[in-house]
Chains A and B, each alone.
Chain A
Amino acid sequence: MNSRRVNVVATAVLLLSLAGTVMTLRTLDGMRRGATLREVLYFRSPKMLRRMSLGYSGLVADLYWTRAVQYFGSHHIAQASDFHLLSPLLEMTTDLDPKMTVAYQFGSNFLAPAPPNGAGEPEKAVALVEHGIQHNPDNWKLYYALGFIYYMDLKDYKKAAETFERGAAVPKAHPFLRLLAAQMAQHAGEYGMSRMLWTATYETTTQEQIRRNAIDHLRALRVDEDVTQLERIVGSYRERTGQLPSSINDLVRAGLIGGMPVDPTGQPYKLTPDGRIELRNPDAILYITKGLPPGHRSPQPKPEPTPPSGK
């Protein structure tokens, strides 16, 4: 077997096995979807994982953080209903690296809300952030995150105020904490309060998903406010003229509004025959509570895709 034949055979083997490995990898990936994530369930005790990290717990924390973000991101896109691994992943991350602020913020934003927007585990979220505060008592962002959960998901305005107060006492705390605490008593539940909170959330983090989520909520708030405002104007028109306007143009001609109002996606608002304001495309904007057609159901969360048989 001379040299040239060896080269030819070796090259052929190389290319064929390369193709083969890629194909096998695809099959393997299909079989083991989420396997690395489920690994998290094997570590009943975070202490053990920390020991096994041999001092590189920071690195392992980063790994788990990456998995948590990807896990949530992929499920969120699929609008799944089950995020049961998010809590263990975040707990693992923060146990290995108790100073990872962004992980606590993530938990505050996504562990607490109900699916499909979050894992629906507000108590776990509270426990997570409390753990963070324990290890970082001077980190005002964590108090903010905790207060946020109390306000948004648990609707416990008193506790929220207390937490913001606690946070405001921390050196170098952002002044809005004091402001939030002060305003809570009178303005809890109002649009202005929510808007302040979501804006604050947006500004206290650089994490992409948290920011996008905050923007989505801010847009929804704008829609809700717009719709409320417009419907009030419709009411004034009716008082003035005794009838409902036939279109929004009537309102413009009556001088009650300056120009055609559009929703945050640029679509003009629609006036229904019974005087309500609706969005042209209600599914385009998330989290809105007004401007929906009656009986409109928001897109349902998709169930978690079942893994193939056998683990």
Chain B
Amino acid sequence: MPAIETINLAKTYAVGFWRRKPRTALLPLNLQIEEGEIFGFLGPNGAGKTTTLKLLTGIVFPSSGTARILGKEVDDPGVKAQIGFLPEQPYFYDYLTAKELLEYYGQLSGVPAKDLSSRVNEMLSRVGLSDAARTQLRKFSKGMLQRVGLAQAILHDPKVVFLDEPMSGLDPIGRREVRELIQQLKQEGKTVFFSTHILSDAEALCDRVAVIHKGELRGVGAVAELTAQVHGKVEITFNASAAPAALRQLGADMHINGNIVSAVLPEENQEAALEVLKRERLRLTSLTPVRSSLEEYYVQNLQPAEKSMGVGA
């Protein structure tokens, strides 16, 4: 049984005063995420990531299709006890302290009263907020609020955790801590579903990713599989004082440092490039495949969509 499953899950909003203009936020989405996976949901702003998360957490109702978590439908009350959610730019009850907020949420999530206090303290120290436990949330910085958000998402030990842009508002150290936290969660056997538009994070953490754009799923799979689909590049370095024009015609980006030239060009032109070097009698110093990044997959994937979408989407 997959941890998270969507079957033709779609959402259309009726916008405008007379509700004439429907806006499709999500086209029918089919996904399956297994237990224990860290799953990344990528896409530009407005692609439908947050809508998907809201559909999965029961905050918004689907126009069609269903979503199941651990085999049960999303609106089944039993499900809610098993999920945790960190919304984007979270906002909490200002006047409560961090401790009070977590205790309140713990109560709502059914954490037994006798365990509540210790669990809350544990969470606070896990996200590094033990010192601020008795400070009102009004006084928290953005980064601190993000940590509280994480704490409340995992407080009740849910099996599935949903995070919407968990790194936003954090400095590099904070981001590292969140990355470590997510990995810890995986080690604890939890399933993590998070959305982001920062690709390096996804690359570093995720077992699998999905790319979504304008409400439509563009691709899903393990990072390695996806990047392998991108046409590779190679880097050739050689001694020369100037770059041969012929190489440029092969689509090479060139960089000259002293008398070492480095040229990055598409893999399929590798042989042709070597021919150029032989002709010019230039000495090859190295030939290295360049590992293509998720970014290229991403960009490559999105561009045809731009062209084919046309006007009026």
Please say whether the chains A and B touch (CB closer than 8 A). yes
Shortest CB distance B213–A (Å): 32
Interface assignment of A206: CB less than 8 Å from any CB of chain B: no
User: Which residues of A lie under 8 Å from residue B77 when comparing CB positions?
Assistant: 1-2
Interface string of A1-43 (1 = CB under 8 A from B): 1110000000000000000000000000000000000000000
User: Is B268 on the interface with A (CB-CB < 8 A)?
Assistant: no
Interface residues of B in 54-112 (CB under 8 A from A): 75-77
Name the distance in Å between A120's Cβ and chain B's nearest Cβ: 60
Bound CA span A1–B75, Å: 11
Task: Give CA–CA (A3, B61) in the complex, Å.
Answer: 12
Query: How would you classify the secondary structure of chain B's contact residues: helix, strand, loop or mixed?
Result: loop
From 240 to 287 in chain A, residues with beta carbon under 8 angstroms from any chain B beta carbon are none
For residue A93, give the distance in angstroms from its CB to the closest CB of chain B.
Answer: 44
- How many A residues have CB within 8 A of the partner chain? 3
**B75 nearest in chain A by CB position:** A3
Q: With A and B bound together, what is the CA distance between A3 and B76 in angstroms?
A: 8
Number of A-B pairs whose CB atoms are under 8 Å?
5
Residues of B within 8 A of A2 (CB): 75-77
B contact residues around A1 at 8 Å (CB): 77
A8 CB to closest chain B CB, in angstroms? Answer: 15
What residues on A are CB-neighbors of B75 within 8 Å? 2-3
A2 to B78, CA, bound (A): 10
B141 to chain A, nearest CB (A): 39
Give residues 103-147 of A contacting B (CB, 8 Å): none
- The residue in chain A whose Cβ has the minimal distance to the Cβ of B73 is A2
Chain A residues with CB under 8 Å of B76's CB are: 2
Q: Give chain A nearest CB distance to B76 CB in angstroms.
A: 7
On chain B, the residues within 8 Å of A3 by CB distance are 75
Which residue of the partner chain A has the closest CB to B61?
A3
| Chain B min CB distance to A13 (Å) | 20
| Residue of B whose beta carbon sits closest to that of A4 | B75
Distance, CA A35 to CA B75, complexed state (A): 51
A1–B78 Cα gap in the complex (Å)? 10
Q: Measured between alpha carbons, how far is A148 from B20 in the docked complex, in Å?
A: 66
Bound complex: CA of A3 vs CA of B77, how far in Å? 9
B78 CB → nearest A CB, Å: 10
Complex: how many Å from CA A283 to CA B76? 75
B61 to chain A, nearest CB (A): 10
CA distance A1 to B77 in the complex (A): 8
Shortest Cβ distance from residue A26 to the other chain B in the assembled complex, whole angstroms: 39
What distance in Å separates the Cβ of B62 from its nearest Cβ neighbour in chain A?
13
Nearest-neighbour CB distance to chain B for A9, whole angstroms, equals 15
Q: Cα distance A2–B77 when bound, in Å?
A: 7
A207–B311 alpha-carbon span in the complex (Å): 66
Bound Cα distance A1, B76 (Å): 9
| A1 nearest CB neighbor, chain B only | B77
How many Å from the CB of B55 to the closest CB on chain A?
15
Bound CA span A194–B180, Å? 104
Interchain nearest-CB distance for A161 vs B (Å): 68
The smallest beta-carbon distance between A133 and chain B, in angstroms, is 56
B76 nearest in chain A by CB position: A2
- CB within 8 Å of A: which of B22-77? 75-77
A2 to B73, CA, bound (A): 11
Alpha-carbon distance A2/B75, docked complex (angstroms): 8
Q: How far is the CA of A3 from the CA of B80 in the complex (A)?
A: 14
Which of chain A's residues 183-227 have a Cβ closer than 8 Å to chain B? none
Nearest Cβ on chain A to B194's Cβ, whole angstroms: 28
The chain B residues found within 8 Å of chain A, CB to CB, are 75-77
Q: Nearest 5 CB-CB pairs, A to B?
A: A3-B75, A2-B76, A2-B75, A2-B77, A1-B77
5 sampled A-B residue pairs with Cβ under 8 A: A1-B77, A2-B75, A2-B76, A2-B77, A3-B75
